[in-house]
A and B are shown apart, each in its own frame.
Chain A
Amino acid sequence: MSTIMGDATATTGLPEGQAPDTAQRSRRLAPATWPYGLLGLLVFAAVLEVVPRLGLVPERYLPPMSRIVAALAEEAASPALWTAVGETMKAWAIGLAIAVAAAVLVGVIIGSVPFLLAATSSTIEFLRPIPSVALIPLAVLMYGTGIESTLMLVIYASFWQVLIQVLYGVQDVDPVAMDTARSYRLGRFGRIRHVTWPTALPYIVTGVRLAAAVALVLAISGELIIGSPGLGHEISQAQSGGAVAVMYALVVVTGLIGVLINLVFRMVERRLLAWHTSVRGEAV
Chain B
Amino acid sequence: MTDILRRTGLALGLPLVLFVVWWVTSAGSENFFLPPLADILAAFTATWTADRFAADVLPSLVRLAAGYAIAAVLGIALGVLVGSLPRVRAAFEPVLEFLRAIPPPVLVPILMLIAGIGDGMKVAVIVSGCVWPILLNTVEGVRAVDPVLADTCRSYGIGGAARLRHLVLRSASPQMVAGLRQALSLGIILMVISEMFAASTGLGFTIIQFQRSFAIPEMWSGIILLGLTGFALSLIFKFFEARVLAWYHGLRRAERGRS
Residues of A within 8 A of B (CB): 2, 4, 7-9, 11-12, 15-16, 19, 21-22, 25, 29, 32-34, 36-41, 43-44, 60-62, 118-123, 125-126, 128-138, 140-142, 213, 216-217, 220-221, 224-225, 232, 235-236, 238-239, 244, 247-248, 250-251, 254-259, 261-262
**B177 part of interface (Cβ distance < 8 Å):** yes
Which candidate, B38-46, B48-56, B150-158, B230-238, is the interface stretch facing chain A? B230-238
Interface residues in B83-138 by Cβ distance below 8 A to A read: 86-87, 90-95, 97-110, 112-114, 137
Q: Which chain B residues border A137 with CB–CB below 8 Å? A: 207-208, 210-211, 219, 222-223
Q: A12-B177, A12-B178, A255-B98 are known contacts. Are A220 and B103 too (CB-CB below 8 A)?
A: yes
Whether the Cβ atoms of A254 and B106 lie closer than 8 Å is yes
Q: Which chain B residues border A134 with CB–CB below 8 Å? A: 192, 207, 222-223, 226-227, 230
Q: Which chain A residues border B207 with CB–CB below 8 Å? A: 134, 137
Q: Which chain A residues border B109 with CB–CB below 8 Å? A: 224, 235-236, 238-239, 247
Whether the Cβ atoms of B193 and A254 lie closer than 8 Å is no
Chain A binding surface SS class: helix
- B90's contact among A29, A129, A131, by CB below 8 Å, is which? A29
Chain B binding surface SS class: helix
Q: Which chain A residues border B189 with CB–CB below 8 Å? A: 131-133, 217, 221
Q: Which chain A residues border B101 with CB–CB below 8 Å? A: 213, 255-259, 261-262
Query: How distant is the Cα of A62 from the Cα of B186 in the complex, in angstroms?
Result: 25
Query: How distant is the Cα of A33 from the Cα of B87 in the complex, in angstroms?
Result: 8
Q: Which chain B residues border A232 with CB–CB below 8 Å? A: 105-106
Q: A12-B174, A21-B144 are known contacts. Are A239 and B211 too (CB-CB below 8 A)?
A: no
Interface residues in B168-182 by Cβ distance below 8 A to A read: 174-175, 177-178, 181
Whether the Cβ atoms of A217 and B110 lie closer than 8 Å is no
